[in-house]
Structure formats: structure tokens, C-alpha cells
A and B are shown apart, each in its own frame.
Chain A
Amino acid sequence: DSGVTQTPKHLITATGQRVTLRCSPRSGDLSVYWYQQSLDQGLQFLIQYYNGEERAKGNILERFSAQQFPDLHSELNLSSLELGDSALYFCASSVAGAGRTDTQYFGPGTRLTVL
């Protein structure tokens, strides 16, 4: 158990719908990362938040957005869902403090199925 929690574990929805995935980082971690794992694209970085502010963006679609709240939990919002959005969505957290070293610990993921 990494200490990172994600809910829900599974989500089944229809095309065109909107869903929200939730992530709680490890105690003391200020940084949250979202990744998407799919069969064709592999593991891809979507977005990073640090202490409530967006820090970096990866291959995140405009239909997707995220935020990090004052209690440091984060939500990933996926809208106008398409079949190709079906994937495993991982959240990771890290301290992201001073210095170069920083280890990310991953949550169990949310498996999204779009029908």
C-alpha cells in the first residue's frame, strides 16, 4: 500500500458523459500527478499540481481538467467522453520539496470504461 488512495476503483459510463476521479495523496506530499495508462498509448503523463497550483501539463486533452484542493486532494474531470478515453487513470504523489530528488508513489488507479 503506497498511501495514495483513489476513488472510484471502477467507473462505467457512456459516451458524451462527464466523470470525476478523485485522488488523496500520501500524508505530507504536496505534489499530485495524473497519468493515463491505455493499451495503445502506454503510460502517459497528464498533469501535475503542487500545493494547489498547476505545475506542469503533459498530453492532456482540452476536454480534461484537474484541480487540487486546499486539503491537497485532487480531482480529474473528464468530459464529453469518447470510447478512446477508456483507460486506467493513475494518480501519484510526491513531496516535491527542495532539491532534485523526488519519488512518486502511485495509487491503485481508476479503471474507466466508456461504452
Chain B
Amino acid sequence: AQSVSQHNHHVILSEAASLELGCNYSYGGTVNLFWYVQYPGQHLQLLLKYFSGDPLVKGIKGFEAEFIKSKFSFNLRKPSVQWSDTAEYFCAVQPGRRALTFGSGTRLQVQP
């Protein structure tokens, strides 16, 4: 069965700092990769997704992620975070058109 690891459980940054959240997965076949964000008290929103093609994908709100197949990684980045980015971030893996397997999430706290 596939699994997803998010090694950073809680990250605290100051505004304008750069962000990188790690995501590694284990699955032998072809997968779709996603990052979702959950703002306090809200539902999961799609940040970005990778299906195929250019391994560097851009999402909403200035986020991007890079798929490195050899490392089974799909790290999320943002050059300059804002206070409004405070949220929980989930990496997810999807083999084919099946259900998502989520990582445990990373809580990001951005201090003004």
C-alpha cells in the first residue's frame, strides 16, 4: 500500500521568509500528486496538482511544487510567505483514479 510522509509537523516562519515543505511517498507505479491546504476551521482546498509533464508545477497563491521521481518527492515551496498562509498543508498521492492517501499534514504558522 502506498504511504505519504511529511516530515515537518510544525513550521514557524516570519513573514517574507521562504518556505519549503517536504513530501515523500512510497508507491511503485505511476501516481498523481497533490497539495491541499486547510485554513483554520475550513475545508481542504486544492493548492496544486501534478499528473504528468513538467515536474515543476505552479499553483494558486504563489505556491509551487517540484516532482522528483528519483527521490519519490513532491516538495512544496513558496518564495515569500504571508501571515495569511497560516494553515495546515497536506500532501496526497493518488494511484490512477483512486482515492487519495494523505500525509499527516504540516502546520504552518507565519508570524507577522
Which residues from 31 to 67 on chain A have a C-beta closer than 8 Å to any C-beta of chain B?
31, 33, 35, 42-45, 48, 56, 58
Contact A90 B44 (CB under 8 A): yes
B73 within 8 A of A: no
Given A105-B46, A107-B43 in contact, is the A100-B99 Cβ separation under 8 Å?
A: no
Shortest Cβ gap from B106 to chain A (Å): 12
Count of chain A residues with Cβ under 8 Å from any Cβ of B?
26
Contact A43 B30 (CB under 8 A): no
Contact with A along B51-77 (1 / 0, CB 8 A): 100000000000000000000000000
A43 / chain B contacts, CB cutoff of 8 Å: 90, 102, 105
Closest to B95 in A: A100
Q: Give CA–CA (A48, B95) in the complex, Å.
A: 14
A100 / chain B contacts, CB cutoff of 8 Å: 30, 32, 51, 96-97
Given A42-B105, A100-B32, A101-B32 in contact, is the A106-B43 Cβ separation under 8 Å?
A: yes
Q: Give CA–CA (A90, B38) in the complex, Å.
A: 12
**A-B residue pairs in contact (CB < 8 Å), sample of 13:** A2-B45, A43-B90, A45-B99, A45-B100, A92-B100, A94-B97, A99-B97, A100-B30, A100-B97, A101-B97, A105-B46, A106-B36, A106-B44
Number of A-B contacts (CB under 8 A): 54
Q: Give CA–CA (A31, B94) in the complex, Å.
A: 15
A25 within 8 A of B: no
- The CB with the most chain B CB atoms within 10 A, among A90, A96, A102, is that of A102
- The CB with the most chain A CB atoms within 10 A, among B99, B101, B102, B105, is that of B99
Q: Give CA–CA (A106, B44) in the complex, Å.
A: 6
Contact A108 B42 (CB under 8 A): yes
Please tell me which one of the listed residues A96, A99, A101, A104 contacts residue B100 in the complex, with CB atoms under 8 A apart: A104
Shortest Cβ gap from B52 to chain A (Å): 8
Given A43-B105, A103-B46 in contact, is the A96-B97 Cβ separation under 8 Å?
A: yes
Q: Give CA–CA (A94, B32) in the complex, Å.
A: 14
Q: Give CA–CA (A44, B99) in the complex, Å.
A: 10
